[in-house]
Amino acid sequence: MDVLKKIVADRKKMIELEKRKNIIQDLRSFIENKDIDIEKKKKLKLSKSIKKVKEIKNPIITEIKPSSPSKGNIKKINLKDVENIAKEMIDGGCCGISILTEPKYFNGSYYNLIVARKFDIPILMKDFIVDFYQIDIASEIGANAILLMVSVLGEDIGEFLDYAKENDLECLVETHNEEEIDIALDTGAKIIGINNRDLKTLKIDLSTTEKLAPLIPNNKIKVGESGIYNKEDLNYILKFVDSALIGSSIMESENIKEKVNELAKK
């Protein structure tokens, strides 16, 4: 079984458990204790932020990613660290923050998203979404956008986009090849991501963005994802897309604020 299939199969099992345990109740009490105005934060828009930041800086979405199947442990972090990292990313000049919430392979957590929610920055909930229940959770914890992967949902992605829209969530629709781009465009998705990482083999090829971006009309917001390590990589990717999604290289750096600042500077 390829990596993606394994992650998705495990995620499906975990979601059933989350439903049975009624974790939405636990998340609600956690939010109440933190005194965060979720309704207010839900008004932030990732698409708007990308467009606005683009005028003055490189619009980068930075990712809080504690582990990954390709790298194993990236950074061991607790909730206080997540809060500090989010603050550093914002001070460094990111246009949005992506937060991994998949627990098994990425060591992510819904609670990581909630603690970062105290800041006024658009947040993308990064998970393997296969069930509307996850969209309910995203909405409950105050995410502004969610990731929907064509490689996972195929043609069903339209229904998920509609359900997300009903919940006031923007969607980053992720693609990795021409066929997936066709499906993404058919659904009318507004923000389209191109993942440079093949999730079946975990291999990175930055030229994936160069190859696929021209197939997406320019009225869409295009996001180049994965494998961006330095300014040279970023400048190359931003020749073809509006924004870049960067996780590992930022999480690995000693000084996150400085690293983000250096990348975000035009």
Q: Where does residue 33 rank: exposed (0-12), middle (13-18), buried (19+ CB within 10 A)?
A: exposed
Does residue 174 bind ligand IGP (CB under 6 A)? yes
From candidates 18, 88, 140, 225, binder to ligand IGP by CB under 6 A: 225
Vertex 99: Cα angle to 75 and 196 (nearest 5): 85
- Concerning whether 63 is annotated as a catalytic residue, the answer is yes
Q: How far is the CB of 215 from ligand IGP (least distance, A)?
A: 19
Distance CA 247, CA 227 (A): 8
Does residue 86 bind ligand IGP (CB under 6 A)? no
From candidates 195, 208, 209, 243, binder to ligand IGP by CB under 6 A: 195
Q: How far is the CB of 71 from ligand IGP (least distance, A)?
A: 8
- Concerning whether 226 is annotated as a catalytic residue, the answer is yes
In terms of Cα–Cα distance, which of 236, 144, 146, 158 is closest to 193?
A: 146
Q: How far is the CB of 32 from ligand IGP (least distance, A)?
A: 29
- Encoded tokens for 222: 């295009």
From candidates 63, 140, 170, 198, binder to ligand IGP by CB under 6 A: 63
From candidates 64, 221, 228, 260, binder to ligand IGP by CB under 6 A: 228
Q: Where does residue 75 rank: exposed (0-12), middle (13-18), buried (19+ CB within 10 A)?
A: middle
Site string for ligand IGP, 105-144 (x = CB under 6 A): ---------------------x------------------
The residues, ordered by sequence, that sit 6+ positions from 178 with a Cβ below 8 Å of its Cβ are 212, 215
Residues 245-264 that bind ligand IGP (CB under 6 A): 245-249
Distance CA 85, CA 74 (A): 14
- Concerning whether 174 is annotated as a catalytic residue, the answer is yes
Indicate the residue among 139 and 249 with the shorter CB distance to ligand IGP: 249
Residues forming contacts to ligand IGP in the complex (CB under 6 A) are 63, 65, 126, 147, 174, 195, 225-228, 245-249
Residues noted as catalytic = 63, 65, 126, 174, 195, 225-226
